[in-house]
Chains A and B, each alone.
Chain A
Amino acid sequence: MRLHETCTTDQAAPQFEHEWQRRAFGLALALSEFGHYPWSEFQQSLVATIGQWGDTPELERGEWEYYDHWVAALETLVDRHRLLTAPVLTDTGDHALPDTHERDH
């Protein structure tokens, strides 16, 4: 069995296949950088969504698309930290204030 055709060791292999994947990547990173959640929490969320996919029988789960899991993990954290529903508390540098997190836990 060979790896699928996109598996080349060509250095020019694109890092993102689509612009929306790049935006999703940047958005998740940005929210963490600005203190809305710790990066480790995003990783755990990503691992959980990928794990769920892995545990689902092959016929019932969708095709593999890494960035679909990425977006699902991001949505989970946006909900969990109520980023779209709770009042925004940031400092002048746009960083989340500490009590934003304390309120969530």
Chain B
Amino acid sequence: MTGQFAYPPDREDASAKKVAALESLLIQKGVITPLTVDKVLAYFETEMTPLNGKAIVVKAWTDPEFAAKVVVDTPAAIAELELPEGMAGAEGEHLRAVANSAGVHNLVICTLCSCFPWPVLGLPPYWYKDPVFRSRAAREPRKVLTEVGLHLPPDTEIKVWDSSGHSRWFVIPERPSGTEDFTDEMLMDLVTTESMIGVALAGPVS
């Protein structure tokens, strides 16, 4: 399958040229300024990061009331936290959280394209958008999880959540044992983007 993801070398070039041309035409026309794209990217890259998701998970680990609320009305629960203002329309408004528990593991995919909860997780890892990953994870989640190094007990139920324009799922992983004395900061280090997609567990505890 090595060749499956190869593509002609000039193809990337063509897309790169198209994007550059489009941006410069839009600037010339006055639709955007030369700074617009950089400003949007800078905001996105500094504010819409997995730090938001980490903060949500740690809050759920340390506050049972919040934990109960975040899976019922995710946007309302998140609004109580001091997180950056979400950019209107950029994927934040339909956030839904699902929590792992003993015997239940959640995995988030998007079979149609890549509906990813950017505001809490940042941008998806690029393999997340790969059609092979998406379709296989829907069909044989246990096998795919094993391949990426997550070996779940055979009796653990795996629930696969298909993100869409209306529901952008993310996972609240289980709090690792042995972390009772951890500060919030130490706990945040245990929460990875992968664990919030459901392709890994939180941790490891060192």
Contacts and interface: CB of A to CB of B under 8 A. Distances in A.
The answer to whether A and B belong to the same complex is: yes
A24 B123 contact: no
A14 B199 CA distance: 17
Interface string B1-26: 11011110001100110111011011
Contact of A4 (B5, B22, B33, B192): B5
Contact of B5 (A29, A34, A64): A64
A98 B38 CA distance: 24
Contacts of B23: 23, 27
Given A3-B132, A65-B7, A75 B90 contact: no
A18 B16 contact: yes
Given A9-B194, A23-B20, A54 B131 contact: yes
A50 interface: yes
A47 B163 CA distance: 13
Nearest to B112: A47
Interface in A5-57: 6-9, 11, 13-20, 22-27, 29-34, 36, 38-40, 43-44, 46-47, 50-51, 54
Nearest to B93: A39
A101 to B, nearest CB: 14
Contact of B125 (A4, A13, A34): A13
B144 interface: yes
A32 B90 CA distance: 9
B193 interface: yes
B6 A63 contact: yes
Contact of B40 (A33, A36, A74): A33
A3 B5 contact: no
A38 B89 CA distance: 7
B38 A33 contact: no
A84 B132 contact: no
Interface of A: 1-4, 6-9, 11, 13-20, 22-27, 29-34, 36, 38-40, 43-44, 46-47, 50-51, 54, 62-69, 71, 74-75, 78, 83-84, 88, 90, 94
Which 5 A/B pairs are nearest by Cβ-Cβ distance? A20-B16, A39-B89, A7-B127, A63-B7, A26-B41
Interface of B: 1-2, 4-7, 11-12, 15-16, 18-20, 22-23, 25-26, 29-33, 36-41, 44, 87-91, 112-115, 122-127, 129-133, 136, 144, 147-149, 165, 192-194, 199-200
Given A4-B5, A4-B132, A29-B41, 19 more contacts: A6-B126, A15-B122, A15-B124, A15-B126, A20-B19, A25-B123, A26-B37, A26-B40, A29-B44, A30-B36, A31-B31, A46-B113, A50-B113, A64-B4, A64-B130, A65-B11, A75-B18, A75-B22, A84-B29
